[in-house]
Amino acid sequence: MKIRHKVGTIAGSMAVLLAAIPGIANSAANASTESFNQKTAAYIQTFIGRARYVYGGSSPGTGFDCSGLTQYVYRHYGKSIPRTADDQFLHFRRESRGRAWGGDLVFFHENSNPNSYVYHVGIYEGSNDMVSAADASEGIVWQAIWSSDVTFGTITH
């Protein structure tokens, strides 16, 4: 491999670095081009075990309930969404499980009717997993989607 940059210059140093460490250029580019969904799916994980569950809560300082957590995470990246799980459901566009992306929302319905009241919401992580504010004993957790009475929602794709 022949490097055509002058040693001792910034361009020369970068060329040597990029040639010496395969994949670093792609990693740097990917870090700045992460999608909204990728960012939200990663950001919510920072609250696991670190924030408590509080009914009606909507901040890391006071704690979160399920919809307060999703609203906080989306707002962190500039998306304004309603406060309650049911209102969030009405605001989002439905998506099939197969087309859902990490970072989309998972809505839990009171029965098998996909238009029924939504009592819980979490951020989808892919496969059968999500992160949500579970309850006072568990706090913010990574968990399996435990019900078949769910729908998925997006505002990004």
pLDDT per residue of the chain (157 residues) written in tens, 0 to 9: 444 444 454 444 444 444 444 444 444 444 557 999 999 999 999 999 999 999 999 999 999 999 999 999 999 999 999 999 999 999 999 999 999 999 999 999 999 999 999 999 999 999 999 999 999 999 999 999 999 999 999 999 9
Q: Do residues 78 and 143 share a domain?
A: yes
pTM: 0.80
Q: Are strands 118-126 and 63-64 parallel, antiparallel or unpaired?
A: unpaired
How many structural domains compose the chain? 2
Give the CATH number for residue 41.
Answer: 3.90.1720.10
Domain that holds residue 102: 35-154
Alpha-carbon distances of 133 from 15, 25, 96, rounded to whole Å:
46, 37, 23
